[in-house]
Amino acid sequence: MKQFLIVLLSLCIYSCAETDNRFNEAYKLAEKAYSDKPELATATKYIDQILEAIGQNSDDKKLVVELSEKAYQIAKDNKIASKQRGFLFSLIKEDYSNDKTKSRILELANQMSAIKRAGTANILYKSLIENFAGTEEAKIAQNKIDPAVSNLNNYIINIGEGITKGEVDKFGLNRNAALRYVDACEAFALSFPDSPQAPANLYKAAEIAKTMNTFPKLMSIYDWVIEKYPNFEKTPTIYFLKGFVLENNLDNDVQAKKVYEEFIAKFPNHELRDDVDFLLEHLGKSEEEIRAIIEAKQKEKQDIVQ
C-alpha cells in the first residue's frame, strides 16, 4: 500500500510539473500577481497572458476550454465586460456539448442586448428557444426575443440589406451595418453549429470582413470554417483565400506556404490546384516579378506558335 501511494504521488508530481511547463514565466508571474492582489490591473495582465497561452496551445482544445473558463471568470469578477463576451463566445464555440452551453448563450445574448446589438441577441435567444426547448433558459429567451423574429434566414438577410445603404465608406459599405451582419452570421454559426446554413453564413461574413480589410476577424472566420466544417463545399476556396491573404495582405510567406501545402495535400484535384501551384511556385516574388514571368511565358508560347 505504501509503495502504491509513493507511485501515485510520483505520478501526480510528474503530471503537475508537466502541466506547469505548458506556461512560460510571464504567465506564471501574472498568475501569482493576480493571486496575491486580485484587482483590475493584475486581472488585465493575467488575461493577456491567458490569451497568449491559448494562442500557443490552440491545438489542445481541452486546455483552450480550461483557460477560457478561467479567463471568463476573472473577467466576470473584475467586470471586464468585453472580455467576458469574448470568452463566452469561445466557450460556446469550442465546447458546445457542455451542459453550461444554454446558460452561456443566455448570458451572451443578454450582454449583446445590453450593448444594443439586438440582431445578435435575437439570434442567440432564438437558438435557446429552438435548441433547448422546455428549459428555464428557453423560457427566459421567449420573454426577451423580439416577437417579429420568426425565420432566422430571412432575419439575417434583412440585417444584410443595410450593408450598401446610407453612409458608406471607401469600400462602398455602411460599416456599422456590415459589422452587424458579420456579427449575425457568426451568432448563427455559434448557436446553430450543426445547421447546413452555418458554414454558408460564415463564408458570407468572411466576404464582408475581407472587403472591409478587417483581417483579424477574417482569419478567425477562415479558421472557424476550416476547423469545424472540413466538408463544406467552400472550404477548399477558404484555404486558398487564407493563403492569399497571408501572403499578400499580412506579408506572412511562411504561414502562406503552409496553407498552400495543406491545400495541395487535402484537395489535390480541386479546380484551384493550378492557381495554388502558381502561388506556391512564386511565393515571395513581387507583382512586377510575377508579371515579367507571365509575359515571358506568353512570349515563349507565341514564339513556339510562330
Per-residue pLDDT of the chain (306 residues; tens, 9 = 90+): 445 444 444 444 334 444 457 788 999 999 999 999 999 999 999 999 999 999 999 989 999 999 999 999 999 999 999 999 999 999 999 999 999 999 999 999 999 999 999 999 999 999 999 999 999 999 999 999 999 899 999 999 999 999 999 898 888 999 999 999 999 999 999 999 999 999 999 999 999 999 999 999 999 999 999 999 999 999 999 999 999 999 999 999 999 999 999 999 999 999 999 999 999 998 987 777 777 776 676 666 666 655
Q: Is residue 246 part of a domain?
A: yes
Q: Are 46 and 73 in contact (CB under 8 A)?
A: no
Q: Is residue 165 part of a domain?
A: yes
Q: Is residue 51 part of a domain?
A: no
pLDDT computed for residue 4 by the predictor: 42
- Say whether both 187 and 238 belong to one domain: no
In order, the DSSP letters of 64-100 are HHHHHHHHHHHHHHTT-HHHHHHHHHHHHHH-TTSTT
pLDDT computed for residue 289 by the predictor: 73
Of 213, 241, 265, which residue constitutes the final position of a domain? Answer: 213
pLDDT computed for residue 53 by the predictor: 95
pLDDT computed for residue 14 by the predictor: 38
pTM of the model: 0.86
| Segments forming the whole domain that contains residue 199 | 151-213
Instruction: Give the H or E element holding residue 102.
Output: helix 101-114
Q: Is residue 187 part of a domain?
A: yes
CA distance 301 to 133: 66
- Say whether both 206 and 242 belong to one domain: no
Sorted by sequence, the CB contacts under 8 Å of residue 67 that are 6+ apart come out as 50, 53, 54, 57
What are 234-240's contacts with CB under 8 Å, separation 24+? 234/199, 234/200, 234/203, 235/199, 236/263, 236/266, 236/267, 236/270, 236/272, 237/272, 238/203, 238/206, 239/263, 239/266, 239/267, 240/272, 240/275, 240/276
Q: Are 139 and 152 in contact (CB under 8 A)?
A: no
pLDDT computed for residue 292 by the predictor: 75
Buried b / exposed e along 81-109 (16+ C-beta atoms within 10 A): eebbbbbbbbbbbbbbeeeebbbbbbbbb
Q: How many domains does the chain have?
A: 2
- Say whether both 159 and 194 belong to one domain: yes
Q: Are 191 and 123 in contact (CB under 8 A)?
A: yes
pLDDT computed for residue 297 by the predictor: 65
Q: Is residue 158 part of a domain?
A: yes
Q: Is residue 262 part of a domain?
A: yes
All three cell numbers of 218, joined, read 477574417
Q: Is residue 60 part of a domain?
A: no
- Say whether both 246 and 197 belong to one domain: no
Q: Is residue 5 part of a domain?
A: no
